[in-house]
Structure 1
Amino acid sequence: MTSQLKRTLTKRYGVLELWEIIVIALFAAFIVILVLSVWLSFRKKSKRSNATTLPVTQSPRFTEEIKEISVDHGSSNNNGTSYQTLDEKFVEDIENGDKFSGSLEKKPLVGSHLPPSTPSTTAPSPLLGLPEVSHIGWGHWFTLRDLQLATNHFSKESIIGDGGYGVVYHGTLTNKTPVAVKKLLNNPGQADKDFRVEVEAIGHVRHKNLVRLLGYCVEGTHRMLVYEYMNNGNLEQWLHGDMIHKGHLTWEARIKVLVGTAKALAYLHEAIEPKVVHRDIKSSNILMDDNFDAKLSDFGLAKLLGADSNYVSTRVMGTFGYVAPEYANSGLLNEKSDVYSYGVVLLEAITGRYPVDYARPKEEVHMVEWLKLMVQQKQFEEVVDKELEIKPTTSELKRALLTALRCVDPDADKRPKMSQVARMLESDEYPVMPREERRRRRNQNAETHRESTDTNKDNDITTDAKI
């Protein structure tokens, strides 16, 4: 039998014997397996690195800038196709959130006697344990079936919010991670590929004060976004009673939330290109984690729903009471409109009032106008939220009020940048106008006074001539 096997192995097939062919085939198979192993190992490592926060120095692709009115004429590269770092030190400070100045972290953040919040720790990835085949680098691609199971088939009991962009459901993934599933309004004119590209751009935008996008679903007519779930409510709920069972936000907590929101907006407006204009800043879009760190939601959704310049002018963007006055004239929103809306939210946090409240006396219906009148009359203490157990000091109150009033300036060009707003709120000094701006306003007032005087003189001369 041995001799028969030997004859079989030495049998020639062309120029090679059978045993030589077998050895070559085994060697080739070994090489293929080795190459596949290296490739799979590299692919898995690449996915793990991409699943973490994207460094600012990298440039995720963005097909097209969100259309907007250009306010800062000195900026360049508005038509770029990728996010780029503008100022490394500035971006680092904003993205890391800076250190919150003063002793706010040491003070209680709610007015009732609740256990102190636990210090933040590095949490495991919320996508851990999900099928690896569905990973998309920065997040996860979900099927419609995945999200139906997570939300109990989008039951009414799972609804936690709705608005101009769609309905939000609370859900639980198969790995027990709680999520918020935003079921977007359908935009029939948008192709699946375009939607995916824009979602990819949003997915790569990372900041400690922005709600993290975990993934998305595109299936049939369904367009859904999956976010990390914030279980500590939003600023509106804390200010207006829905979270009363947990107590009232202290002054320190309110300022902490507003500073975090300012830094998130500064990142969207100033630290990446093309900049992202939120277009719907309001207290209900400012979520909070257990440590009362702000988490701004709904950024980038205007672009996802096809909100180009013409679209914005035909479909109302923003929320009544928060939208800047120039919107009525142009029908378009820009980063200075975000600043105005932020100023309204800051005033809302100071006063505990809704931006528009028809249940109040006529002169108090519109919060911004009422507050300007109160400030002119130097009735600062009267505007503070009555629910605050410990009132802010006079200097703290004036600093917040002056910052807010600069944000809601009717002239968009006079509103500060959001990076300046964050510094104003953290500073121990009053937010004064730059010297050049003060000089310009003095000259403008002097010119107005001179014109008024000349007009009065002309009227006097005319009257004398008639006499």
Structure 2
Amino acid sequence: MHCFVARFLLLFLGTLVSLVHSKTDSPDVSALNVMFKSLNSPSQLRGWKSSGGDPCGDSWEGIECSGSSVTEINLRDHNLSGQLGYQLSSLSSVKIFDVSKNNLNGDVPYQLPPNAQRIDLSENKFDGNVPYSMSQMTNLEEVNLSRNRLEGQLSDMFAKVQKLKSFDVSYNKLSDTLPNSLANLSNLNTLHLQNNRFTGTINVLADLPLNDLNVENNKFTGWIPDELKGIDNLKTGGNSWSTGTAPPPPPGVQHRRRPDKEESEGSKISLRNGLLIGFSCLGGVTLLLFIICICTMRRSSPPPSSHFLEEDIIGRRKGFTPLHSQELDPEAYVGILKQPKDFKSTDPGNGEIKSLLKSPSMGLRRSASSRVSFSENEFANRLKGRRSTSVQVVPYSLADLQKSTDNFAPDRLLGEGTIGRVYRAKYPDGKVLAVKKIDSSLFQGQKSEEFSKLVANISKLHHPNIAELVGYCSEQGHNMLIYDYFRNGSLHDFLHVADDFSKPLTWNTRVRIALGVARAVEYLHDVCSPSMVHKNIKSSNILLDLELNPRLSDYGMANFHQRTSQNLGVGYNAPECIKPSAYTLRSDVYSFGVVMLELLTGRMPVDSERPSSEYCLVKWARPQLHDTDALFGMADPALRGLYPPKSLPPFADIVALCVQTDPERRAPMSEVVQALVRLVQQSAMNMKEDLSSSRRTTDSEYEIV
């Protein structure tokens, strides 16, 4: 008997250990659950579930694992329809992602498995553009997006995908010229671009190690480079190639070509010898004068002129680093700092740049050479110094507020919302506060403790990108919430209430504002327990401090908004929100997307003065978000074209993630934050590369001989 019990226990423990070891990582399970629902829960995917389950342990159809991590998704030719969901970026261990030969539609997901080596989405019905997020997938070796309905320009997205060996976007509707960054693909041997609408030349491909190139049936012009004519498998028919011999380069100029190893070594030796001879011939005094001359020239370079607002701010506030078109401090994009004890990390991975992105003017200093350098000690010291303590919420008397607002005089009115009015309270010592006077009708039939509960809940919220509560008043039927006063007003004022003396926000500051607001909403959705739906995200509820950092206001009022019959934020409401009670977390994401559209276009969410086709900002903009040509035309004219062209497509891609009609297709706020962080990182990298390249020869195709 004892022997039988022992055997049973051993068998049970063995089974339990096996189950523990086979249990799939929860992020992978969640991502596959979302994907299954987005695919319309197909019965042919054996084992798949819309909630929970164990893909690795239960051998889900098309899923391969290593340990507890999903490493391969192969659903090729499974007669699938629908879409792929919004959570693919959680599949961090997936190396192979193949859903080819199905009937999938919609945009190619912006969020793909971030560490994938092979992506195959061919022979589906995907539309939109090739997602710029691929530019960050540094492990990519093979990409196949052929035989879909992709449109627009192929973005300049190949600078970092150095491992790419095969790229196929044939049989789509892609147009415009080939991006210059294709020249960086030093391992590319297969490139299929046939049956699209590409224009311009293919000179950018000349130095690639290709052995399979197909550019048939496009609108290419010019001459086929001689370097490509020796390719084993070359197809170029169906284009408008120039006839005859290619013209020689201009006089005194020759084409660049990649030197072989011997040439390269010889050049280095020649250069070294030349330098030695030069320095031996150059007198000491002459050399000293030369160095002084160079330093003087660098120091005397005139500052860039600007008509933008930050020029004024830097003169008043030393701690604020402006964002100019010529030099970019990566930290100047964002004015936020997560508190480790209060926040969950949503940034992918760790590292100095990720920490750096969380606070302005932190850990970066300018050296004499104008290059950005990083100091760990400086970062740690400033981080410690910037950690704010909780704001002490204090009671104010009604008499005190009546006096400081001149008895709530009309000239002290700052604004009026769905639940009350906001007044400016000014004190003799110079202190200025904003007093939100809640409509008394909202408390009819409610217990007197409700306002106290509201104050208690709001006072617990602390984040650098929300307007924190500093006081309250509840006397004689008056219920008021008191906040700091932000002299710069709201984002709405900056974007839409212009006058002859106004200066627009720079593009980089707009990105910084978007990321700061996204962080605030992420805090409400993911950090607060239970999650808090804002329900009234709009540009007039985004206040700007003296350093133009965003502060989200009007949070914690969801219960009051639900009682109002008014339509919250006309133009900001998600399609499902016919009434305030229908709001969800994804409705907030939609409203945030509308704010991003305001930042991009400078337009109002609804504008009766525009043609009927442009009356609603989202309906007008959404079809154009993946059209690069249209996108540049959509940019706010007030920017005067002063923005990095490479930043617009990824910014628009993030907007598209937010303003989907179907709530299930909208990305959660944490993923929106990640996408904006990646945009900031990429922009910083691009600017660094631009600054570096500006010190070299500006002509990229020819050199003087």
Question: How far did 1:185 drift?
Answer: 0.8
TM-superposed CA distance for 1:122, in Å, is 7.9
Does 2:491 correspond to 1:235?
A: yes
CA shift in 2, pair 1:162/1:355, >3 Å: same
Alignment match of 1:381 (pick from 626, 632, 648): 632
Q: Deviations over 1:12-54 (max 9, x none)?
A: xxxxxxxxxxxxxxxxxxxxxxxxxxxxxxxxxxxxxxxxxxx
Equivalent in the alignment of 2:605: 355
Q: 2:357 aligns with which of 92, 100, 103?
A: 100
Residue 639 of structure 2: SS of its match in structure 1?
A: coil
Please report how far the alpha carbon of residue 321 of structure 1 lies from its aligned counterpart in structure 2 after TM superposition.
0.3
SS of the residue 1:227 aligns to:
strand
Give the unaligned 5+ runs of structure 1: 1-71, 75-86, 107-118, 127-135, 432-467
User: Post-superposition shift, 1:393?
Assistant: 2.4
**1:237-290 deviation line (CA, Å, top 9, x unaligned):** 111134763411000111111100000000000012011111001011000001
Task: Confirm or deny: 8 A CA contact 1:398 1:430 kept in the other structure.
Answer: no
Q: Deviations over 1:112-163 (max 9, x none)?
A: xxxxxxx99989x99xxxxxxxxx9931011101111111111111111111
Partner of 2:357: helix, strand, or coil? coil
Which of 272, 278, 286 is the aligned partner of 2:542? 286
Match of 1:300 in 2: 556
Choose which of 575, 592, 597 in structure 2 pairs with 1:325: 575
Match of 1:151 in 2: 405
Q: As a proportion of its length, which structure holds more helix?
A: 1
Instruction: Please say which of residues 187-196 and 168-177 is displaced more in the overlay.
Output: 168-177
Relative contact order, higher structure (CA 8 A, sep 6+): 1
Change (3 A) 1:103 1:261: closer
1:258 aligns with 514
Task: Please tell me whether the aligned partners of residues 261 and 295 of structure 1 are also in contact (alpha carbons under 8 angstroms).
Answer: yes
CA distance in 2, matches of 1:101, 1:182: 30
Cα distance change, pair 404–200 in 1 and its aligned pair in 2 (3 A): same
Residues 213, 226 of structure 1: 8 Å contact kept: yes
Alpha-carbon deviations, 1:82-107, whole Å to 9, x = none? xxxxx96853679xx9643899999x
642, 646, 669: which one pairs with 1:395? 646
Matched, 1:406 2:406: no
Q: How does 1:409-428 map to 2 (within 5 A)?
A: 409-428=660-679
Q: Does 1:222 align with 2:492?
A: no
Compare the two structures and name the one with the higher strand fraction: 2
Deviation at 1:425, TM superposition (A): 1.4
Contact 1:104-1:252 within 8 A present in 2 as well: no
Q: Over residues 329-379 of structure 1, what are the superposed CA-to-partner deviations in whole Å (9 max), with x where a residue is unaligned? A: 885111110000000110111001111112111211111121123335541
Residues 1:170 and 2:424 are matched in the alignment: yes
Q: Of residues 587, 594, 598 in structure 2, which corresponds to 1:337?
A: 587
Q: Equivalents in 2 of 1:244, 1:408: separation in Å?
A: 33
Give the 3 Å change call, closer, same or farther, for CA 269–394 of structure 1 in structure 2. same
Q: Contact between 2:342 and 2:527, CA under 8 Å: does it hold in 1?
A: no
Question: What residue identity is the alignment partner of 1:372?
Answer: R
Where do 5+ consecutive residues of structure 2 fail to align? 1-49, 53-339, 348-353, 365-381, 683-705
Q: Which residue of 2 aligns with 1:180?
A: 434
Tell me: CA distance 1:376–1:363, structure 2 relative to 1, closer, same or farther (3 Å): farther
Alignment coverage as a number of residue pairs: 318
Change (3 A) 1:242 1:183: farther
Summarize deviations over 1:411-457 as a string: whole Å, max 9, x none. Answer: 101111112112211214999xxxxxxxxxxxxxxxxxxxxxxxxxx
Cα distance, 1:236–1:429 mapped onto 2, change above 3 Å:
closer
Shift of 1:236: 0.8
Match of 2:84 in 1: none
TM alignment of 1:117-156, pairs within 5 A = 138-156=392-410
Distance in 2 separating the partners of 1:104 and 1:141: 34
Relative to the length of structure 2, the TM-score reads 0.42
- In 2, distance between residues paired with 1:327 and 1:358? 22
Identity of aligned residues (%): 32
Partners of 1:429 and 1:284 in 2: CA distance: 24
Instruction: Tell me if structure 1 keeps the 8 A contact 2:472–2:480.
Output: yes
* RMSD, aligned CA: 3.4
Partner amino acid, structure 1, of 2:475: E
